[in-house]
Chain A
Amino acid sequence: MHPALLGIVAIVVAVGACTAYFYLSNLLLDKVIFPARGVHAGRNINRANMIRPWLFLFPALFVLGVYLAYPVVATLWLSVTRRVGSGEEWAGLANYGQMLSEPKFWESIRNNMLWLVIVPAASTAFGLLAAQLTDRIRWGNIAKSLIFMPMAISFVGASVIWKLVYDARPEGTEQIGILNAVYLFFGGDTPQHWLTLPFWNNFFLMAVLIWIQTGFAMVILSAALRGIPEETVEAAIIDGANPLQVFFRIKAPQIMGTIVVVWTTITIIVLKIFDIVFAMTNGQWETQVLANYMYDKLFRANDWGVGSASAMVIMLLVTPILVWNVRNARKEMR
């Protein structure tokens, strides 16, 4: 079948099945299983209302279970087994041991830690700066749109955009990458291949993600800044606070909660970062990160054990944020 046709059929079938399921299951519950009439009408209504939430929840829970909860367990299992023929055999911590002995793994850990510190910090700082600046000017909305725009661009598209920025031509010819052009203009000696300079190239990759995430930070922080009661700022100014003091002593403490949320959200994105490294360097020149290391293991080396073990490492790194988020959500519900 033609894929486009298949797509339309899929939409119709899925939406139709979903609506039919919800409608018919409710009908079945109210009219057949626990009808709201006869001698047990009252009891039946109560029972129906106890079951109904689960009718509403079932498809979503099913999808969540199969596509997110089950894989966590399955990956954990794969990480402690090795493949024998079509089955698996208990391998204990052998996969983890092998992973820990690989220099590429430690390189990924080092780079991920660098990313983890720098990208959220830089994005939040730039976002805060952009929010502060754009909230005070008349053309602030246009400025916001332009800074926010990279959010809509795919990591792959952004990689192409930035590869052009970092492009290097042989010495003596016209440079077409703007970074090298600027570098030579300000007295650099030879054009640099930015993406192949070990260690520093990590920062050039991070710049891409910072460029994308700053808009996100700006939008959220700008909303938080506008939510600050004016009286607190006014009072500080009357008391003689200078703009820096107003910002750091009055505004920053009031939006601390939001800063933390922005920071953790970007942290999670950083931990899963894959596309940018895959498209720009593919982990060469010491730029490997965990997610790309894992992809390498799973689909190039075809080593499910080590691949799953590295996936578990990502999961482990995410867990503190997961716990913190859940605790916050529960606090709010009370």
Chain B
Amino acid sequence: MIPEFSATAARPPKAWWWGVIALIALAMVMLPYYVDIALQLDLSIIFVFALLALSMGFLWGYAGILSFGQTIFFGLGGYAYAVLALNTGMTGLPFLGALLIPVAFSALLGYFMIYGRISDIYLSVTTLVVTLIFEKSIRSTSGPEYVIGSVRLNGQNGIPGVPGLTLPWLDGAPLSIEGVFYLTAGAMLLVYVALRLLLTTRFGRVIVGIRENERRMELLGYDTRLYKLGAFVLAGGIAALSGVLYALWGNFVAPEMFNLNQAAQVVIWVIVGGRSTLIGPIFGTGIVQYTSNWLGTVGVGQVTLVLGIVLMVFVLVFPRGLLPTIGDAFGYVRRRVAGRGAAR
């Protein structure tokens, strides 16, 4: 079993892992010099969604909390940034503020559910219902009376013209497409590394322990609810970051960020890549997003038809997702080779 492809890898990463991360980071830095900005834009959105998938994959695979509503914090982050940035004319502080608001809300919602002992599929459904409430509510704010500060919420149409991030050392010009690429790639890589390291800490081991057997961890003296809430808020923060980056990427936010389709897409990304890994959701997002992007330009007729078949095949044939399946196959081959070596 390759540790990176399994949910129990609480060991500190080895040197080769750091080497791979460094190589990927270098590749990201070099990439804009070699590819056109359309591809950078395509990749950026994959990184943004990969963060969203990571937030759900981490929560599900490691803490055992299946939240269908990470889109709550995704949407809230985007909307908070749009409203704050358009009101203040600044972008740095709104960036931070837009992370804090969803995090506060995730603490509230998490407290409500986890301390209320709502569990399993019911927690999943509660999060789904909450995201639908946000969607419906935002959709019904088309009228001119729905204004926060000087910003019209604009209902169905969403808020266009969300300002790009300006950095003091770039003379106050908004971030270019290359800039957004670096920002999203950097954010994704950092969050991935941080989560990977987190799993080797005491906190990481405790939440995995809770996923395996919550009662046992309680008897060992851990306040399991606090740990679960911690994981939930952390995942909320990651989803919020993804939402803010989404707003920066496309310069718009819209109620679709909260809707059933978006929520379900997150599940697909995680499932396709592999739910019990950190790298899986990232790959899943890349594959699914790239596929639907490509399908839209080749004239297959109905894109959903193809996506639907892909999803069914994955659940039936690779229920653990792509990467764990590949990892298993790889591990199997390695064991066979090792076994033969030992026999000699």
| Chains A and B are bound partners | no
Residues of B within 8 A of A (CB): none
